[in-house]
Amino acid sequence: MPYDEALERFEPVLGLETHVELGTASKMFCGCPTTFGAPPNTQVCPVCLALPGALPTTNATAIESTIRIGLALNCSIAQWCRFARKNYFYPDMPKNYQISQYDEPLCFDGHLDVEVNGEVVRIEIERVHLEEDTGKSTHVGGATGRIHGADYSAVDYNRAGIPLVEIVTKPVPGTGGLAPEVARAYVTELREVMRALGVSDVRMEEGSLRCDVNVSLMPRGSSEWGTRTETKNVNSLRSVERAVRGEIERQAAVLAGGGKIVQETRHFHEDTGTTTSGRSKEEAQDYRYFPEPDLVPIAPDVAWVARLKAALPELPRLRRGRLQREWGVSDLDMTAMRNADAVDLVEATVAAGAPPADARKWWMGELARRANELVVPLAELPITPGQIARVCALVGEGALNDKLARQVLEGVLNGEGSPDEVVAARGLRIVDDEGELSAIIDRVLADNAAAADKVRGGKIAAVGALVGGVMKASRGKADAARARTLILERLGVSE
């Protein structure tokens, strides 16, 4: 059903379950390293392989990070809580139970304010709890890369036991047609909170941030919530938005056709933007949760939690407001910078001495274009905010113009060294020698007698061609404004 029609008839209710892999040096319950991308099954030990007799011990840094996340999301922090075992059999889960939390989460009852089209939407947080990640199965053979139809499966336990924080929202009604944007804005904001806290690298493409999207529809005018589905495999911010939208359209069509929504897990397909049915909740497991007897309860000291709260960094939404005022940019510009992951870079560039407008111009213009070409995140370009600031300074002092500055940036990106080294090596400094400039102007005037005559005759606009000639002759290194003044002087014309 078309989206607009779906919304005329139904009100969507959202729910988001986000998993964040913490960036701790070691795993949740053992000392194994957590480096991403290591060869399979090289970061394992008796504990995370669940060898007979092995026991978990708790990673204190992970507890601290989870409490900081809870505090940043305005949650209450449990004074006493326990881990619980979630029991189910799956080959990528070594113990065949996951150490998680059940009815005693570490953090609960918080909220996160997000902005959509300049409006603030408050997302209520149900709980934030700590658990361990599973291993990673690779299904080999078959058409889809999924388990059905595969010839065999390989399991990498490097990921098994990496600390995972699960953040669950309360149901979010009332967002109407903005539901997809709200979902995206929530995940975006959450990601920035995690970055500000420094607890995770939150890379959706590497799976260090994973989001399950719950959607249900209720007919307009009804107050009874519909059956929800849970969509997995949502691996980018854009996919969050598309998955919500696609699921609203699909469910509306089912309901409008007199059908019923099945409570199930659905699988999002990046290529088509649609979801297909996964495992049905009807055949779902009874997880038989019970308190983890191998671990002692967590009882965070109240004074310690207060110290963690006092030491929280400035949170992204407040920071963006402050930066926006300091930089004097519009909502639209700020949003563009966020979407390009450029806010931190611009801030660092400004901190290194660049005027905010210039810092923004380079990161959002030339550099964003290059990052796009190379298909890398902006932050991974081989250039530093300090180097951008240096280029801005060179422009500011008149040593470079924008065209030359672009060439300097290109040189830095090519690995030719610092901005100053590139300027020197490529000879990119503006011609500031009056004698040299004079000589160029003489040549240009001689070669363009007709244009010179026009200017002499009072048609000052014709000077543009002459300035262009000077820039060309100097291969862009002349100061165009200075050249214009000198040409007009030479021709005895005043403006």
Distance CA 385, CA 441 (A): 37
Among residues 3, 40, 58, 429, the one that binds other proteins under rule CB under 8 A: 58
User: CB 107 → other proteins: shortest distance, Å?
Assistant: 21
- 155 part of the interface to other proteins, by CB under 8 A: yes
In the complex with other proteins, the residue whose CB is nearer, 55 or 379, is: 55
299 scored as a contact of other proteins (CB under 8 A): no
By CB under 8 A, tell whether 295 contacts other proteins: yes
* Residue number, 87 or 265, with CB nearest to other proteins: 87
Select from 5, 8, 38, 46 the one that contacts other proteins (CB under 8 A): 46
Task: From residue 240, give the alpha-carbon distance in Å to each of 66, 179, 279.
Answer: 24, 10, 20
Q: Minimum distance from CB of 52 to other proteins (Å)?
A: 4
- Provide the mask over 109-148, with x wherever binding to other proteins is found by CB under 8 A and - wherever it is not: ----------------------------------------
d(C-alpha 442, C-alpha 429), whole Å: 21
- The structure tokens 């300090």 sit at 386
DSSP output for 398-460: TS--HHHHHHHHHHHHTT--SHHHHHHHHT---B--HHHHHHHHHHHHHHTHHHHHHHHTT-G
Binding of other proteins by 197 (CB under 8 A): no
Check binding of 52 to other proteins (CB under 8 A): yes
- Given 122, 146, 220, 288, the residue binding other proteins (CB under 8 A): 288
- Is position 161 an interface residue for other proteins (rule: CB under 8 A)? no
DSSP secondary structure string for all residues of 54-92 = ------HHHHHHHHHHHHHTT-EE-SSB--EEEE---TT
Q: How far apart are CA 456 and CA 454, in angstroms?
A: 5
Contact 419, 383 (CB under 8 A): no
Q: What's the rounded Cα separation, in Å, for the pair 40 and 89?
A: 21
How many Å apart are CA 456 and CA 451, to the nearest integer? 9
* Range in contact with other proteins (rule: CB under 8 A) among 42-50, 171-179, 202-210, 452-460: 42-50
96 binds other proteins (CB under 8 A): yes
User: DSSP label at 297?
Assistant: P
CB of 286 vs other proteins, minimal distance in Å:
5
Stretch that binds other proteins, among 268-276, 287-295, 401-409, 456-464 (CB under 8 A): 287-295
Q: What are phi and psi of 367, to 5 degrees?
A: -75, -40
DSSP class of 114: E
Q: Per rule CB under 8 A, is residue 80 in the interface with other proteins?
A: no
Report the residue from 15, 23, 94, 105 that binds other proteins according to the rule CB under 8 A.
Answer: 94
Whichever of 23 and 94 has its CB closer to other proteins, that residue is: 94
CB-nearer residue toward other proteins: 284 or 374:
284
293 binds other proteins (CB under 8 A): yes
Rg, the chain, Cα only: 30
- CB 288 to other proteins: min, Å: 4
| Positive or negative torsion for Cα 351, 352, 355, 360 | negative
Whole-angstrom distance, CA of residue 270 vs CA of residue 144: 13
**The residue type at 156:** D
Least separation in angstroms between residue 97's CB and other proteins is 5
Among the residue ranges 55-63, 270-278, 358-366, 484-492, the one whose residues contact other proteins (CB under 8 A)? 55-63
Q: 157 or 362: whose CB is closer to other proteins? A: 157
Say whether residue 97 binds other proteins (CB under 8 A). yes
Tell me the longest C-alpha to C-alpha distance in the chain.
98
Binding-site ranges for other proteins (CB under 8 A): 46, 49-58, 85, 87, 89, 91, 94-97, 153, 155, 286, 288-290, 293-296
